[in-house]
Amino acid sequence: MMNSAVLLTFSTANVLSDTVYYLLCGLLAVAVLLGIHLMSKVQKAQYGNKISALAIALGIIITLVKKDIIPVWVVYPAMAVGMAIGLILARRVRMIEMPQLVALLNGVGGAASAIVASFAFAELYQGEDLFGRSTAALAVVVGAITFFGSLVAAGKLHKLLPQKPVVMPLHQPISLFTLLVLLVLVAWGGFFTVTAAAGLLAAMIVFSTLFGIVFSVRVGGADMPITISLLNSLSGVAAAIAGFAVNDVLLVSVGGIVGASGLFLTQIMCRAMNRNLLDILLGKTTLLEKRDEAEEVPEVVQEVEEKEPVDPLTIIRSARKVIIVPGYGMALAQAQHLVKKLAAWMAGNGASVKYAIHPVAGRMPGHMDVLLIEAGVPFEDVYEMDDINEEFQEAELTIVVGANDVLNPAARNAHGTPIYGMPILNVDHCKNVVFFNYDLQPGYSGVENPIYKRKEGVWIIQGDASVTLADVLSQLS
| Residue 401 bridge partners (DSSP) | 326, 436
**Pick from 141, 257, 255: nearest CA to 190:** 141
Considering the complex, state which of residue 54 and residue 174 has its C-beta at the smaller distance from another protein.
54
Please check whether residue 451 is in contact with residue 427, taking contact to mean a CB–CB distance below 8 angstroms. yes
Strands 321-326 and 397-401: parallel
Cβ 86 to another protein, closest distance in Å?
A: 3
Does 264 bind another protein (CB under 8 A)? Our answer is yes
Does 94 bind another protein (CB under 8 A)? Our answer is no
SS (H, E, C) the chain: CCCCHHHCCCCCHHHCCHHHHHHHHHHHHHHHHHHHHHCCCCCCHHHHHHHHHHHHHHHHHHHHHHCCCCCCCCHHHHHHHHHHHHHHHHHHCCHHHHHHHHHHHHHHHHHHHHHHHHHHHHHHCCCCCHHHHHHHHHHHHHHHHHHHHHHHHHHHHCCCCCCCCCCCCCHHHHHHHHHHHHHHHHHHHHHCCCCCHHHHHHHHHHHHHHHHHHHHHCCCHHHHHHHHHHHHHHHHHHHHHHHHHCCCHHHHHHHHHHHHHHHHHHHHHHHHHCCCHHHHHHCCCHHHHCCCCCCCHHHHHHHHHHHCCCHHHHHHHHCCEEEEEECHHHHHCCCHHHHHHHHHHHHHCCCEEEEEECCCCCCCCCHHHHHHHHCCCCHHHEEEHHHHHHHHHCCCEEEEECCCHHHCCHHHHCCCCCCCCCCCCCHHHCCCEEEEECCCCCCCCCCCCHHHHCCCCEEEEECCHHHHHHHHHHHHC
Site string for another protein, 359-378 (x = CB under 8 A): x----xxxx-xx--xx-xxx
Residue 428: active-site member:
no
Q: Which of 68, 223, 369, 405 is catalytic?
A: 405
Residue 455 exposure: Cα atoms within 13 Å on the Cβ side:
0
How many residues line the site for another protein (CB under 8 A)?
119
Site string for another protein, 97-116 (x = CB under 8 A): -x--xx--xx-xx-xxx-xx
Cβ 186 to another protein, closest distance in Å?
A: 17
Site string for another protein, 188-227 (x = CB under 8 A): ----------------------------------------
Cβ 74 to another protein, closest distance in Å?
A: 6
Q: Report the residue from 145, 252, 403, 424 that binds another protein according to the rule CB under 8 A.
A: 252
Please check whether residue 412 is in contact with residue 274, taking contact to mean a CB–CB distance below 8 angstroms. no
Does 333 bind another protein (CB under 8 A)? Our answer is no
Contacts of 325 (CB under 8 A, 6+ apart): 355, 356, 357, 358, 398, 399, 400, 401, 403, 406, 407, 425, 427
Considering the complex, state which of residue 74 and residue 310 has its C-beta at the smaller distance from another protein.
74
Considering the complex, state which of residue 1 and residue 194 has its C-beta at the smaller distance from another protein.
1
Does 259 bind another protein (CB under 8 A)? Our answer is yes
Does 329 bind another protein (CB under 8 A)? Our answer is no
Site for another protein in 111-140 (CB under 8 A): 111-113, 115-120, 123, 130-132
Does 67 bind another protein (CB under 8 A)? Our answer is yes
Does 310 bind another protein (CB under 8 A)? Our answer is no
Q: Report the residue from 197, 213, 219, 251 that binds another protein according to the rule CB under 8 A.
A: 251
Cβ 309 to another protein, closest distance in Å?
A: 36
* Span from 2-10, 160-168, 288-296, 448-456 in contact with another protein (CB under 8 A): 2-10
Considering the complex, state which of residue 103 and residue 419 has its C-beta at the smaller distance from another protein.
103
Site for another protein in 40-59 (CB under 8 A): 40, 42-43, 45-46, 48-50, 52-53, 56, 59
* Span from 215-223, 240-248, 299-307, 311-319 in contact with another protein (CB under 8 A): 240-248
Considering the complex, state which of residue 217 and residue 356 has its C-beta at the smaller distance from another protein.
356
Does 254 bind another protein (CB under 8 A)? Our answer is yes
* Span from 153-161, 356-364, 417-425, 428-436 in contact with another protein (CB under 8 A): 356-364
Distance of alpha carbon 268 from alpha carbon 273, whole angstroms = 9
Cβ 444 to another protein, closest distance in Å?
A: 19
Q: Report the residue from 23, 60, 183, 196 that binds another protein according to the rule CB under 8 A.
A: 60
Cβ 401 to another protein, closest distance in Å?
A: 17
Q: Report the residue from 173, 380, 416, 456 that binds another protein according to the rule CB under 8 A.
A: 380
Site string for another protein, 438-477 (x = CB under 8 A): ----------------------------------------
Q: Report the residue from 15, 27, 170, 379 that binds another protein according to the rule CB under 8 A.
A: 379
Does 294 bind another protein (CB under 8 A)? Our answer is no
Does 16 bind another protein (CB under 8 A)? Our answer is no
Instruction: List, by residue number, the catalytic residues.
Output: 405
